[in-house]
Amino acid sequence: MQRRNFISHVALGAMGVSLGSSFITKKQGGSNDKIVLALIGCGGRGRDVLSGIVKENENVEVKYLCDVNETLAAIPAEIEAYAKKQGYAPKFITDMRRAFDDKDVDAAVICTPEHWHVLASVWALQAGKHVYVEKNPTLSIWEGQQLIAATKKYKKVLQIGFQNRSAPYAFSARDYIKSGKLGSIVHVKCYNLLGGSKWMPEPDTAVPAGLNWDAWQGPAKSVPYNPNRHSMTGRGGWLDFWSYGGGALSDDASHVMDLARLAMGDPGHPASVYCTGGNVGFHSQKETPEFLNITYQFPNFSMTCESGSCTPYMTKEGREVRYGSKWPYWPQNSTRIEIYGTERIMYLGRHGVGWQVMEVDGKIVDMDKGYFPDKFHQKDFIDSIRLSKAPNGDVTQGHLSASLVHLADIAYRVGNQYLEFNATTERFTNNKAANTFLKGHYRSPYIIS
């Protein structure tokens, strides 16, 4: 069997096309142009993204580490490493606006919970900063509209943390499909089948020492502190609440569906969405569902997504697959994509897994092994600032991918309904109640303006 690589150099070049004279950046030139960063959200993922950006790029410094949880200031090993590398230690702050007001800061790396993503990004853009914001970038379709408008208005780079958009194997999958070697595409299946356990309610408690609970809630409705919503030492359970996130669908499934959209040539909004599911695994009483089965109708193909947290026998691949040469066992790969053509099927995996094309009897005819794409995406962010080019994680495509999450969650929240969607107006045409979910809640002073 011949191992082939279908990376299109033309397509790769197109991802870095210049935005022209209307795109204004503070830094232009080579790697000697210093870029100063501020991290907003110092949890594990935030620190990983920040360290990756510094590692993968030359002449990048960190001036601020910001979190409303003051106990996260106690990361001396990381601060010491930055101090040794750049000659001064980053400052720990609890109000992100201090970093945005500092003219030395060129870019913000935003790794907060989802309900803070857009407001923090807009504040940073208004202050003249470039932005790297983690997925899922938005909490509603309205927020996506605001993020696009702000990025265009302030003419800064905004890279969305859909890292597969910088993966060479994602581009080669797209080019292979476009070549017609799968035949006509009739259906795309996305999977996000993870393990989990029954969600149990906990009583409200006093706010832990060192946490600004009001600031953590930000634009969300103010409620008493509850350990189910927040953890002082880990990620916490905020994804289980509609006020802060979109459940399992906005977590890993958003990556899977974004990769599927890229591979299919980045179609626009679907014309309709239908969703079934609920807390059917452990019968928990949490807000976001344990399992969803979703169908989207695009102009030339249908797409489904099965997403949940009650299938422990499915496997989210480890380092030997994401970083190495090992292939997954596709039937139990928990975050795979199946692309059905009239001639062949493609299995595509996120975050470095790669893709394989099969014919009858499991015969593998083509493939491209991947590599975990964080490093490519993090380098692309700084390159985009220095070269005044569009980032791979483009805000418009990020909005379209995030909207797949919002459309499905809305269909679930209005009672597992079939919803028709107007791609131009970005409103539902057959369900008035669904339109009430297009914009979330915002409380003063945490308001986008």
The DSSP result for 384-404, as a single string, is: HHHHTB--SS-HHHHHHHHHH
- Cα 220 to chain centroid distance, Å, stands at 20
Residue 136, domain member (yes or no): yes
* CB neighbours of residue 300 within 10 Å: 11
Domains: count for the chain? 1
CATH of the domain at 143: 3.40.50.720
pLDDT digits (tens, 9 = 90+) for 164-174: 999 999 999 99
Residue 97, domain member (yes or no): yes
Residue 96 has pLDDT above 70, yes or no: yes
Q: Going by C-beta distance under 8 Å and a sequence separation of 6 or more, which residues neighbour residue 91?
A: 63, 64, 65
| CB 436, CB 414: distance < 8 Å | no
Position 31 scores a pLDDT of 61
Please tell me the distance from the alpha carbon of residue 418 to that of residue 302, in angstroms, as a whole number: 14
Give residue 208's identity as a one-letter amino acid code: P
Residue 18 has pLDDT above 70, yes or no: no
Six-digit token pair at 229?
């919503």
Please tell me the distance from the alpha carbon of residue 145 to that of residue 320, in angstroms, as a whole number: 39
pLDDT digits (tens, 9 = 90+) for 335-382: 999 999 999 999 999 999 999 999 999 999 999 999 999 999 999 999
Six-digit token pair at 187?
């259906």
Question: What pTM value is reported for the model?
Answer: 0.93
Position 171 scores a pLDDT of 98
Position 321 scores a pLDDT of 97
CA distances from 292 to 244, 279, 280, 408, 416 (A): 19, 9, 9, 9, 10
pLDDT digits (tens, 9 = 90+) for 170-222: 999 999 999 999 999 999 999 999 999 999 999 999 999 999 999 999 999 99
* CB neighbours of residue 369 within 10 Å: 17
Find the mean pLDDT for residues 318-340: 97
Residue 83, domain member (yes or no): yes
Six-digit token pair at 104?
């030395």
Please tell me the distance from the alpha carbon of residue 206 to that of residue 321, in angstroms, as a whole number: 43
Least confident of 28-32, 82-86, 418-422: 28-32
Residue 67, domain member (yes or no): yes
Kindly report each contact of residues 291-294 with a partner whose C-beta sits within 8 Å and lies 24 or more positions away, as own/partner. 292/248, 292/249, 292/408, 292/412, 294/408, 294/411
Q: Predicted confidence band at 32 (pLDDT cuts at 50, 70, 90)?
A: low
* CB neighbours of residue 449 within 10 Å: 8
Residue 117 has pLDDT above 80, yes or no: yes
Residue 407 backbone phi and psi in degrees, to 5: -60, -45
Residue 257, domain member (yes or no): no
Residue 119, domain member (yes or no): yes
Residue 441, domain member (yes or no): no
Six-digit token pair at 423?
């791609």
Sequence-ordered alpha helix ranges (H) in 191-263? 213-217, 252-263
Position 160 scores a pLDDT of 98
Cis status of the peptide bond prior to 208, with omega within 30 of 0? no
DSSP letter (8 states) at residue 237: S
The domain of 47 spans: 17-165+375-391
DSSP letter (8 states) at residue 247: G
Residue 17 has pLDDT above 90, yes or no: no
Residue 74, domain member (yes or no): yes
Position 77 scores a pLDDT of 74
Which is nearest to 134 in space by CA: 150, 149, 121?
121
Residue 122 has pLDDT above 50, yes or no: yes
Backbone dihedral region for residue 354 (phi beyond 0: left; psi -120 to 50: alpha; all else: beta): left
